[in-house]
Amino acid sequence: MTVQDEMFSPGLQNRQRRNRIFMWLFLSANLLGLLVLVVLLAKVLRDSWGWLDLQFITSFPSRSPEKAGILPALYGTIYVMIITAVFAIPLGIAAAVFLEEYSKKSKFLSFIQVNIYNLAGIPSIVYGILGLTVFVRWMMLGRSLLAGGLTMGLLILPVIIVTAQEAIRAVPQSWRHASYALGASKWQTIRYVVLPSALPGILTGIILALSRAIGETAPLIPIGALTFVRVIPRSLFDSFSVLPIQIYNWTSRPQDDFRAIAAAGIVVLLVVLLGMNSAAILLRNKYQGRIKKV
């Protein structure tokens, strides 16, 4: 053994042992997340056991938990999402196209960009206050489906813009040049070359944004999404409820039976969300790297 080996080898074993111990500690931080997920799902499933049946899906809210159901909230969620999608998707894509394809690098552009990032970080209940002030009061839409859908639309707009921008940026510059070389105009190039190839990425972003909107509760509290809706909304100006608001109402009651139907509502909400998220992941995996291969 050389002098150096004697100096270092006693420490080496300790250091490697410490390395292994910490590796397991770091790994268990991840496993804890997995554990929480499993416990959370098990808890919700156990609580809702026996309450989640066809009657629950097809009934109206009721004072007695046995008869209560989520039908109006389910319809409300679907309608709000349709309004949100119709409003936010074209607007988001248009904004992304402008920022990526038209605008020149300028102070104003970077201001808009910073602004979009910041909008994504504003608490969702503040969006609810915005919706209450602008849509319910100023535009006098009332506490309606339309006001709720527009508010949700503003909330997810930044997410759609940012993901659409990334998808558009991933389209190779050479494809645009090829299109121009054939004599296409700028808009023709965007319409027939850029947007079709960016579409899978844009769609993934849209699904993720909409699934976030389905789970959001806070912005609709100031809008006045009701918790006790006895009819299915028929027009844009009808009052409404959504799944998370209905779940909130049931959870905040002290009776165990209402907590149980809250859990049943959570199961329905999670099934919808997991369905949408897996669709987004499948879409992403299917089209990932397609641009590179061509």
Partner 1 sequence: MVDSAGKGFRGEKGIEILLALAASVSVLVTIGIVVSLFSETAGFFKEVSVKEFFTETRWTPLFTPAHYGIAPLVAGTMLVTVIAMIVAAPLGLASAIYLSEYAPDGVRRLIKPVLEILAGIPTIVYGYFALTFVTPIIRAILPQTNVFNALSAGIVMGIMLIPMISSLSEDAMTAVPNSLREAAYALGATKLEVAYKVVIPAAISGIVASFILAISRAIGETMIVALAAGSTPKLTFNPLDSIQTMTAFIAQVMLGDAPFGSIEYKSVYAVAGVLFVVTLSLNLIGTWIVRRYKEVY
Q: Which 224-253 residues touch partner 1, going by CB under 8 A?
A: 224, 244, 247-248, 251-252
- Cβ distance to partner 1 smaller for residue 132 or 145: 132
Q: Give the C-alpha separation, 156 to 168, whole Å.
A: 18
Q: How many CB atoms are located within 10 Å of the residue 229 CB? A: 22
State how far the Cα of 5 lies from the Cα of 67, in Å rounded to an integer: 77
Q: Which of 146, 191, 170, 158 minimizes the C-alpha distance to 291?
A: 170
Within positions 105 to 134, which residues make up the interface with partner 1, using CB under 8 A? Answer: 111-112, 114-119, 121-130, 132-134
Write the single-letter amino acid at 207. Answer: I
199 binds partner 1 (CB under 8 A): no
Smallest distance from partner 1 to CB 241, Å: 13
In the complex, the smallest distance separating the C-beta of residue 103 from partner 1, rounded to whole angstroms, is: 7
37 vs 170, which CB is nearer to partner 1? 37
The 14-53 site mask, x for binding partner 1 (CB under 8 A), equals -xx-xx--xx-xxx-xx-xxx-xx-xx--xx--x------
Per CB under 8 A, which region of 61-69, 72-80, 196-204, 215-223 contacts partner 1? Answer: 215-223
- Does position 83 interact with partner 1 (CB under 8 A)? The reply is no
Position 286 contacts partner 1 (CB under 8 A): no
Report which of 226, 287, 235, 264 is spatially closest to residue 70, judged by C-alpha positions. 264
Site string for partner 1, 148-187 (x = CB under 8 A): ------x--xx--x--------------xx--x---xxxx
Instruction: List the alpha helices (DSSP H) in the chain.
Output: 3-48, 54-58, 71-97, 107-120, 124-131, 145-169, 173-181, 186-189, 195-215, 220-223, 243-251, 256-287, 290-293
